[in-house]
Amino acid sequence: MPRSLTVTALALALVTVAGCAGSGKTTWVAPLESRSPMYTAVSPSAAASLATLSAVRVCCDTLSALHYQPLNTGDSEFFKLDANSQAFAFATGKSLLAAFVIPDELERATLTIEAIAGATVFVPTVLILDRDFRVSRAIDSSNFKYTPAGFMEPQRLRGKVYLDRRQGGELAAEKYLIVFTTDKDLRGSTRMMSEARLYARAHGLVDPGLPDPIAQHAATGVFRMGVGDLEVSAASTTQYVRQQQGASRYVPPTSAVAPAPRPARPAAQPSARVAKAGAQPMLKETQTMYDRMIQQSVALGDMDRAWRLVQEAERAGSTTARATFVGAVENK
């Protein structure tokens, strides 16, 4: 992908906008990378990017020792991962990272994360941690899909993170978010769509047959993150559940958490984990009833009620509620 616009390309972009205004047709312009320094901060070389990662020292032995910046709930922001970023030795490899603290007032939200692509691209993986810095969920790189350049938008990898902290149990304690990458992703690349093909597709022209650019995966890069309302759908709810499975594999077991003293909880208000662990086996009839209510809620599209039923059933000792929920969503 070109690093900047030529005068000719810019003129073509302006003519395209003028010619299509009010026509009802899809408008296409060359991606305006030059309008923001962040777009041109993408490394032109994967090798140089790896050299930067190698030169940055691991900052901490524990996730709790990282510096977490406040998550902005207003306008979307750009974040640059470079020689000035923190680095951590994850179980999936050393990586530069950006770490955020989720404000208590942000109860339900969809975070949209877009990694800007050029000659290289930083492929995100996201960890969600609870208040004790234990991994609650993982959003792996497969959730970030290539999105072609469009009007005033660059080539990018785009994914979403769903927060729902009104739910009971430990997920309500989700407090921290980390964006990083893995050794496996650093070995890959992403095929993008050439500007000529984008233009032809938008205007109904014959595909020019030119080769598409390849973005090598890099240890440095730029991503944009924005906060919006929570999207409740079958797809988002299924992803939310699956993100809880196997999340801890990204963190070395000996360095995941720095133990910190916690105030004793009143005996009358045990934590969700204790309640679940101490629950008696559920009666078969009760378990069947919960499974049926979960399936009915999913069938009606009431994902919020279905998920509350899953949590209620698990606190009462159900071993089938979660699988019933996932199966119902997939069948729907």
Residue 240 lies in a domain: yes
Environment class of 289 (CB within 10 Å of its CB; exposed 0-12, middle 13-18, buried 19+) = middle
Domain boundary among 219, 250, 281: 250
Neighbours of 30 (CB within 10 A): 20
The reported pTM is 0.67
Are residue 35 and residue 85 in the same domain, yes or no? yes
Handedness of CA 153, 234, 180, 227 (dihedral sign): positive
Residues 142 and 36 in one domain: yes
Domain around 286: 272-331
**Residue 132 lies inside a defined structural domain of this protein:** yes
Mean pLDDT value across residues 198-220: 82
- Do 162 and 303 have their domain in common? no
* Mean pLDDT along residues 86-100: 96
pLDDT of residue 21: 36
Looking at the structure, do residues 39 and 150 belong to the same domain, yes or no? Answer: yes
The residue that leads in pLDDT, 235 or 179, is: 179
Query: Does residue 66 sit within a domain?
Result: yes
Mean pLDDT of 284-306: 82
| Measured CA distances, 78 to 59, 67, 72, 180, 232 (Å) | 22, 18, 11, 15, 26
Would 265 be classed as within a structural domain? no
The last residue of one of the domains, among 220, 250, 280, is: 250
What is residue 317's predicted lDDT score, i.e. its pLDDT?
82
Inside any domain, residue 257? no
Of how many residues is the chain composed?
A: 332
* Judgement on whether residues 289 and 144 belong to the same structural domain of the protein: no
From the list 109, 49, 107, the residue with the least C-alpha distance to 76 is 109
Give how far Cα 72 sits from Cα of 77, 84, 100, 102, 155, Å: 8, 20, 9, 9, 24
The one-letter amino acid code at 204 reads: G
pLDDT tens track for 59-79? 999 999 999 999 988 888 999
Average pLDDT over residues 155-184: 82
Q: Order the strands of the 145-147 sheet from edge to edge.
A: 77-81, 221-228, 108-116, 156-164, 145-147
Q: pLDDT-derived band of residue 169, with 50, 70 and 90 as boundaries?
A: low
Task: For residue 239, tell me if it sits in a domain.
Answer: yes
Residue 20 lies in a domain: no
- Tell me if 163 sits within 8 A of 174, measured CB to CB: yes
Residues 320 and 223 in one domain: no
Does the structure show a pLDDT above 50 at 271? no
Residue range 214-257, pLDDT digits in tens: 999 999 999 999 998 876 665 566 666 666 555 678 887 655 44
Contacts of residue 86, Cβ cutoff 8 Å, sequence gap at least 6: 59, 60, 66, 67, 96, 97, 98, 99
Number of separate domains in the chain: 2
Say yes or no: 132 and 279 in one domain. Answer: no
Amino acid 24: pLDDT: 38
